[in-house]
């Protein structure tokens, strides 16, 4: 079926082969000879939104927005300006993978159109209605995912002006949040739009300065973000409270909470909801800093480390993963080391314990050293299979990759090691034996450069392919330890069990490096603890990815790949194939790194 684009058509759906609309007589042919309109998916005071197919791009789904401009409309010029502004804003934000890309902007049959990327997912309002109110951990994850988007748009002098759960989509492919509806706020069945003078926004979510005279700044979006948190925590639509109490409701919002939240999160939301601009956070980065455990007390600092009474009545052997001849690297400084690996069944119970023999060298820093493990050459299937029920859409297509031998840090770079090279410690969880966090990709590259200059060896970040190869260490199961994972094997949010695995402990902070079992290559913390920076720029699939293990980089992208999961994320993100991304200038308390090296021989490093 094809949809007629006449805004006044009462029965717009027509058979594919019809040359004229059966209702209004207008031709329902392809828009601009390219876009086949499938069905309407939204309508507001400014126009209609359609799901469409781009027949020139393998029938890829896209979204077509049509501006309706009746000749008698006194606000036609303003609507045209806002529609054009939305297209310009989308174009300006094209590098951000959490903002739908602008594909086209044009006029056809006296109606302006913009075409943008289709986001397959559901908005947070739908998620709220389907699954019920959000708990504190889920709100924190929403903030951690959404705040970097807001920081990016605010740095480009864009204020969204209509932040609300229906404009925040959770993309099915990777579970990332996507911010939609820039420039023109779509009217939906749940809200009324304010269109007085220059005012745009949704009543109940818009701050006082926006509601009174239309003035906005980044802090205006932050107020709306606070209202979103309130709405998701309580299920109460703020429009009702505003009608009863005006903006006074924000001073006593906590009395509506159906369950208590921690004092630190309450303090953050409270500051987001301040009526006066000068009393709010000034930037999204400032909110992220407040979320960091070092800024406000976060949870309980009492750690319970994994149990060490591993089963003993199981066989051991020396693994063939490490044959000395297979590691074709200079070996004069290498030393053998032995370690133990574990395998678990789908219920998370231990099946086998294996003794391995590996090779390593120690990079002396003076008061500390970095342990580098020799990773042998090999081939593996990168990504996850289509039939894997836990996979995200960005983990395919699965493809075979060849990896040259290289070295990889046995553990994440610690705070003590960072302090030695960089002279500071930005971490939220201060402890010299814990991994350093709050470091951006740019910071990490500088660390590698300084370390290279000091040692004469060209240290770098691993490519994404190298990272997954080293994580899997010869396994093809979802996790490096087998079909499941438990909180005795890694540091992650194990409040929710993975498939048939057991529920475990959520530690709510990082742990010391090396306190969980190693994988079959002798590497620690490849699952959980901290997300790890890779060299690659972000790509939403492996289509046309290199198969030689090299980093896949694009000059026009500033988003970098993260791997491995983190203490604040669920088991699903600890799978060997799971991927994530953030802007390369983003630093946070769930991101760290380990270093790689292609050759042991010293080279001239500038």
Please give, one letter per residue, the 3-state secondary structure of 41-61. EEECCCEEEEEEEECCCCCEE
User: What span, in angstroms and rounded, lies between the C-alpha atoms of 32 and 37?
Assistant: 11
CA 247, CA 275: separation in Å to the nearest integer?
7
Residues 6+ apart with CB under 8 A from 583: 96, 148, 152, 558, 559, 560
Strand, helix or coil at 104? strand
Q: Any residues with CB less than 8 A from the CB of 606 and at least 6 apart, and which?
A: 453
Q: Residue 297 annotated as binding?
A: no
Helices (H), 263-387: 263-272, 284-291
443 is catalytic: no
* Helices and strands (DSSP H and E) totals, the chain: 11, 21
Catalytic residue among 54, 145, 162, 181: 162
* Calpha distance 21→441 (Å, rounded): 54
Q: How far apart are CA 303 and CA 433, in angstroms?
A: 14
- Of 274, 277, 295, 278, give the one whose Cα is nearest residue 286: 295
Q: How many CB atoms lie within 10 A of CB 257?
A: 15
Q: What is the CA radius of gyration of the chain?
A: 27
Instruction: Give Cβ neighbours of residue 405 (< 8 Å, ≥ 6 apart).
Output: 326, 327, 328, 329, 374, 375, 376, 377
Rounded CA-CA distance 136/139 in Å is: 5
Residues with catalytic annotation? 162
Binding residues, by number, are 65
Binding residues for ATP, by number, are 65
């Amino acid at each position: 079926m094809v949809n007629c684009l006449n805004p006044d058509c009462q029965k717009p759906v027509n058979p594919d082969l019809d040359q004229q609309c059966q209702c209004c007589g207008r031709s329902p042919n392809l828009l601009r000879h390219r876009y086949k309109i499938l069905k309407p998916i939204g309508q507001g005071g400014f126009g209609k939104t359609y799901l469409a197919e781009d027949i020139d791009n393998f029938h890829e789904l896209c979204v077509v927005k049509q501006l309706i401009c009746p000749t008698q409309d006194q606000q036609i010029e303003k609507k045209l300006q806002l529609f054009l502004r939305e297209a310009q804003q989308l174009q300006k934000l094209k590098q951000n993978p959490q903002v739908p890309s602008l594909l086209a902007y044009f006029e056809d049959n006296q109606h302006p159109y913009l075409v943008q990327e289709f986001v397959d997912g559901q908005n947070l309002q739908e998620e709220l209605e389907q699954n019920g109110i959000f708990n504190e951990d889920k709100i924190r994850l929403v903030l951690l995912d959404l705040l970097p988007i807001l920081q990016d748009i605010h740095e480009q002098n864009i204020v969204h002006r209509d932040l609300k759960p229906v404009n925040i989509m959770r993309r099915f492919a990777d579970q990332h949040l996507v911010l939609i509806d820039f420039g023109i706020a779509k009217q939906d069945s749940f809200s009324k739009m304010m269109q007085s003078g220059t005012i745009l926004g949704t009543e109940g979510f818009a701050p006082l300065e926006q509601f009174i005279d239309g003035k906005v700044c980044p802090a205006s979006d932050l107020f709306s973000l606070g209202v979103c948190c309130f709405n998701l925590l309580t299920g109460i639509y703020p429009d009702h409270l505003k009608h009863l109490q005006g903006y006074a409701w924000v001073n006593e919002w906590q009395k509506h909470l159906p369950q208590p939240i921690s004092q630190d999160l309450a303090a953050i939301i409270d500051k987001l909801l301040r009526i006066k601009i000068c009393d709010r956070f000034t930037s999204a980065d400032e909110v992220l800093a407040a979320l960091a455990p070092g800024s406000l007390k976060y949870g309980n600092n009492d750690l319970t480390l994994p149990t060490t009474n591993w089963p003993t009545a199981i066989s051991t052997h020396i693994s063939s993963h490490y044959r000395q001849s297979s590691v074709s690297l200079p070996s004069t400084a290498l030393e053998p080391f032995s370690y133990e690996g574990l395998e678990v069944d789908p219920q998370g119970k231990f099946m086998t314990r294996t003794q391995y023999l590996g090779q390593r060298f120690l990079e002396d820093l003076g008061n500390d050293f970095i342990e580098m493990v020799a990773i042998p050459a090999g081939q593996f299937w990168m990504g996850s299979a289509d039939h894997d029920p836990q996979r995200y859409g960005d983990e395919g297509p699965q493809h075979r990759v060849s990896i040259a031998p290289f070295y990889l840090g046995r553990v994440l770079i610690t705070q003590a090691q960072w302090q030695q090279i960089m002279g500071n410690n930005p971490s939220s969880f201060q402890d010299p034996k814990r991994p350093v966090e709050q470091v951006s990709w740019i910071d990490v590259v500088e660390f590698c450069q300084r370390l290279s200059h000091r040692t004469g060896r060209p240290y770098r970040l691993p490519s994404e392919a190298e990272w997954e190869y080293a994580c899997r260490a010869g396994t093809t199961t979802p996790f490096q330890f087998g079909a499941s994972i438990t909180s005795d094997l890694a540091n992650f949010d194990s409040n929710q069990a993975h498939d048939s695995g057991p529920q475990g402990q959520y530690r709510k902070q990082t742990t010391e490096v090396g306190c969980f079992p190693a994988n079959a290559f002798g590497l620690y913390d490849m699952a959980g603890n901290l997300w790890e920076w890779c060299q690659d720029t972000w790509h939403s699939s492996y289509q046309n990815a290199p198969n030689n293990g090299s980093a896949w980089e694009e000059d026009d992208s500033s988003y970098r790949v993260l791997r491995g999961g983190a203490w604040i994320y669920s088991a699903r993100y600890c799978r060997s194939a799971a991927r994530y991304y953030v802007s390369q200038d983003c630093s946070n308390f769930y991101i760290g790194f380990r270093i790689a090296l292609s050759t042991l021989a010293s080279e001239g490093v500038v």
